[in-house]
Amino acid sequence: MLADHRARRRAARERSRGEASGASRVLGAVLGTTLLVVLAAVAAVCVVAVYGLLGVGLRALGVDLPLAVGLLAAGTAALVLLVVRGARRSSVRERERTSRLGRFAAANGFAFVPRVDEPDHPSAAFRVGILRRAVDVVRTPGPWPVEVGTYRYSAGYRASEPFAWSYATTTLDRALPHLVLETLPRDGSPGGRAPAGVERVREVAPGDAPEGPHRVHSTARLPAGTARAVLTPEVVALLVGGPVPLAAEVVDDRVLLYSERPLDLLDPAVWTWLLTTTRDVAAHLSGTARGDRPEVGPPRP
């Protein structure tokens, strides 16, 4: 019954998002093309202006025209060489990271997908910006699979600023109200903020939220004590007890944990902490005992 309930809810979500997803892809392609054209035009104008000023300056210094042209050509070649070398090094590092993550996933029996365009998760955070994709996506097997990845998109002025954050998500054994928990900075330690796009319709009153420097939001007015009953002290302790404070979003029968900064997914210690935290948070939210979910051993390097 629970599996059928989940399947029906996911099917309804997919139907409602199908048209929006197609429209967003078209819009993203149009905006991306427009952005490239604008950047190319601006770059061309800047290059012409810079070269004109350099040419005038060299002529003012008494440099012959052929020599001035040669100097400008040599400077251009050196600049192009530096750009190409930087791009190649970045590409090599990217391939090396992807290869290492693939080997890591294979050694632990995980599924690895280098890139997922427009990832389909119930949170509105995955529908922010253009050029939306999840990279380094790793999924664990079993009845409670965990998905871990880094979400990247572009937004800001002329949609040219890149953003990235890491996430982990798994299913719950029951549907719960839509809640978002963020931990606030305290005593010099950073807080765990949810990424842009997460729905924060109304803030839960302090008396109904968990104790401590936290902020809880919901998308609907909830009965008194609901947020405190769902986000128990055990759940809050798991979110703030690791090396990086995490924010949490509960959507229907799924929980998503967010790290404001991308995590080092090549570090086995990060994996052990992240998988264990995700499993334990899901177990508490589902109202099941810790032992009802399989233990997560240290991943093999």
Q: What is the pLDDT along the chain (301 residues), one digit of tens a residue?
A: 444 544 555 555 545 444 444 555 566 566 666 766 766 677 666 666 666 666 666 566 665 666 656 666 666 666 666 666 655 665 567 788 888 888 988 988 999 999 999 998 999 999 998 889 999 999 998 878 999 999 999 887 665 678 999 999 999 988 999 999 998 776 666 778 899 889 888 888 877 777 777 889 998 888 888 888 898 889 988 998 888 889 999 999 999 999 988 898 888 889 889 999 999 999 999 876 444 555 555 566 6
Residue finishing a domain among 106, 126, 161: 106
Tell me the H-state helices in the chain. Answer: 2-60, 65-107, 226-230, 233-240, 268-286
Q: Are residues 151 and 87 in the same domain?
A: no
Domain annotation covers residue 259 = yes
Note the pLDDT of residue 1. 45
Rg, C-alpha atoms of the chain: 25
Q: Could you list the residue range(s) of the whole structural domain that residue 181 is in?
A: 110-292
Q: Are residues 239 and 271 in the same domain?
A: yes
Q: Are residues 138 and 51 in the same domain?
A: no
Domain annotation covers residue 152 = yes
Note the pLDDT of residue 46. 65
Residue finishing a domain among 55, 83, 106: 106
Note the pLDDT of residue 191. 73
Domain annotation covers residue 170 = yes
Structural domain total, the chain: 2
Q: Are residues 163 and 214 in the same domain?
A: yes
* The dihedral formed by the CA atoms of 206, 210, 216 and 222, expressed in degrees to the nearest 10: -80
Max Cα distance, the chain (Å): 86
Q: Which residues pair with 192 in a beta bridge?
A: 183
3-state secondary structure at position 217: strand
Q: Are residues 116 and 73 in the same domain?
A: no
Domain annotation covers residue 300 = no
pTM of the predicted model as reported, rounded to 2 decimal places: 0.71
Domain annotation covers residue 298 = no
Give the Cβ contact number of residue 99 at 10 Å.
11
Q: Are residues 6 and 71 in the same domain?
A: yes
Whole-number Å distance between alpha carbons of 113 and 164: 17
CA nearest neighbour of 225 among 215, 210, 247: 210
